[in-house]
């Protein structure tokens, strides 16, 4: 009886150590420590491809777990295998370093917290989602390898030697996993929830960010990802500790119930935030669409069009003119050619724009409306737009986030991610829109062809009138 009480006390202590934070630390203090080791300019990394590999490992390990421990309720994913990007390179050395950080330290309260901060520090130049995925991938390396060796079997001499070398007595001798069914069931469930949380973070970061004033819930949710990432890494450390426990020959199982409860809370909160953000995004897009439809029925100011199209409820920024900023007044009483595209345009596109700008002369202005899908790499995107803007003398709308008017652009101007040009006349009416690749100079636009013909007719009439006057002048 005493031994059972001692075991229960031991498990409770481990649970407290894994889940809690050191005395004197609260959420604000943790965030302060996290921010101190964070590098703002994130390193480019394909976190989704790495996540696909992790998910594939866990999914294919599930039947092996079930074959050895039928009562473990192994994860059985009913989904097709996904393939990572062909350009993906595994950060294997970094993953091994993370694995060592988790495996070579005990699960004490200070160690768990300090190990989490150490891992965050190692990955300080990566995005928040990449840090969480890389930590989970480091765990998946050991998790997948263990179940692969279990599938081969301890009777195989190579497997047995590997097990001894890796300190896996459960694998080297009598497995003993039968008595740890509950621990494996809890571990697999926690891995599943961890994957779901990371998926929610991916989805959240892919949402179009129209700015604080337009989608206030999104900024709040994105700011909280820092703390979510911290607890994701703490959870993976708990999973690593549990894996060490169930593969050893000692009773060192960890009670993961608190971590599971905490992660379910994070998951439910993320799902709720996603729903609120999607609702606000839809409202912003619909409002911009309706405002633009109404504006083009009257005679609006050109700045009102740009505000509804690119800024919504946010403050309007000045146009970029090379290294300077100018007011929208420069567009008054001019033809305005909206060049709408993403940052990736071809050399042919640049040549077409240069020709168009040259032939347009003083009759109008070309304004580049940047189309950004998501705001994760805003700084790099802005640099690219500015750099391309120096090649062609045009103005750039100073908005390098997704724009609220994208629904209007897609539905009314038929934008399908290929560069287009939309002509707005001096009365602020849309006269024409055309794919950039179809433009062959200024005469590709009916409004300018008509104006040229009108000018020729006027010149001809003037000439004829003068000739008539010459003929009828009495001597």
Tell me the residue length of the chain.
475
Half-sphere exposure of 311 (CA within 13 A, CB side): 15
Contacts of 28 (CB under 8 A, 6+ apart): none
Query: What is the tens place of the pLDDT at every residue in 393-439?
Result: 899 999 989 999 999 999 999 999 999 999 999 999 999 899 999 98
- The bridge status of strand 335-341 relative to strand 324-326 is unpaired
The residue ranges of the chain whose pLDDT is under 50 are 1-16, 23, 174, 451-475
Position 11 scores a pLDDT of 44
Left, alpha or beta for 397 (phi > 0: left; psi -120 to 50: alpha)?
beta
Average pLDDT, the chain: 82
CA distance 390 to 385: 9
Position 469 scores a pLDDT of 44
Position 114 scores a pLDDT of 87
Position 423 scores a pLDDT of 95
The residue among 312, 313, 331 whose CA lies nearest residue 321 is 331
User: How would you list the strands of the sheet with 395-396, edge to edge?
Assistant: 324-326, 319-321, 395-396, 364-370, 335-341, 420-424, 430-435
Position 170 scores a pLDDT of 65
The residues facing 370 across adjacent strands are 341
CA distance 9 to 421: 71
Name residue, tokens 């993961």.
256
DSSP calls for 265-292: HHHHHHHHHHHHHHHHHHHHHHHHHHHH
Q: What is the CA radius of gyration of the chain?
A: 31
Name residue, tokens 């000692």.
250
Query: What is the tens place of the pLDDT at every residue in 246-298?
Result: 777 666 667 788 889 999 999 999 999 999 999 999 999 999 999 999 999 98
The residues facing 100 across adjacent strands are none
């Amino acid at each position: 009886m005493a031994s059972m009480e001692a075991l229960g006390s031991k498990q409770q202590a481990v649970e407290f150590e894994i889940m809690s934070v050191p005395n004197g630390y609260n959420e604000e203090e943790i965030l302060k420590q996290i921010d101190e080791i964070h590098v703002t300019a994130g390193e480019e990394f394909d976190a989704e491809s790495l996540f696909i590999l992790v998910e594939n490992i866990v999914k294919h390990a599930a039947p092996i777990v079930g074959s050895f421990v039928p009562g473990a309720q192994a994860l059985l994913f009913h989904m097709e295998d996904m393939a990572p990007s062909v350009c993906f390179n595994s950060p294997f050395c970094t993953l091994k370093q993370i694995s060592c950080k988790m495996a070579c330290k005990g699960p004490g309260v200070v160690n768990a917290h300090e190990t989490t901060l150490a891992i965050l520090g190692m990955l300080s130049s990566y995005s928040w989602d990449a840090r969480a995925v890389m930590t989970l991938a480091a765990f998946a390396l050991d998790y997948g390898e263990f179940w692969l060796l279990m599938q081969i079997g301890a009777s195989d001499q190579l497997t047995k030697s590997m097990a001894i070398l890796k300190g896996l007595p459960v694998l080297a001798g009598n497995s003993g996993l039968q008595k740890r069914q509950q621990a494996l069931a809890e571990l697999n469930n926690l891995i599943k929830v961890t994957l779901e949380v990371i998926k929610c973070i991916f989805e959240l970061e892919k949402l179009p960010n129209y700015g604080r004033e337009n989608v206030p819930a999104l900024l709040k949710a994105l700011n909280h990802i820092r703390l979510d990432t911290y607890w994701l890494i703490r959870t993976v450390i708990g999973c690593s500790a549990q894996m060490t426990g169930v593969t050893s020959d000692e009773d060192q199982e960890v009670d993961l119930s608190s971590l599971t409860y905490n992660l379910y809370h994070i998951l439910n909160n993320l799902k709720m935030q996603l729903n609120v953000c999607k609702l606000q995004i839809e409202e912003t897009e619909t409002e911009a669409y309706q405002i633009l439809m109404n504006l083009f029925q009257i005679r609006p100011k050109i700045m009102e069009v740009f505000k509804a199209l690119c800024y919504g409820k946010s403050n309007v920024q000045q146009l970029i003119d090379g290294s300077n900023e100018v007011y929208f007044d420069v567009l008054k009483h001019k033809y305005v050619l909206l060049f709408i595209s993403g940052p990736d345009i071809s050399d042919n596109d640049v040549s077409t724009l240069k020709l168009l700008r040259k032939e347009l002369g003083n009759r109008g202005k070309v304004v580049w409306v940047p189309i950004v899908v998501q705001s994760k790499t805003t700084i790099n995107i802005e640099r690219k737009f500015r750099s391309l803007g120096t090649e062609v003398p045009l103005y750039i709308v100073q908005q390098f986030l997704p724009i609220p008017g994208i629904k209007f652009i897609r539905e009314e101007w038929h934008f399908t991610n290929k560069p287009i040009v939309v002509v707005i006349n001096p009365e602020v009416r849309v006269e024409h829109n055309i794919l950039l690749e179809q433009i062959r100079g200024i005469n590709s636009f009916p409004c300018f062809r008509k104006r040229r013909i009108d000018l020729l007719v006027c010149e001809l009439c003037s000439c004829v009138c003068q000739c008539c006057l010459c003929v009828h002048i009495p001597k």
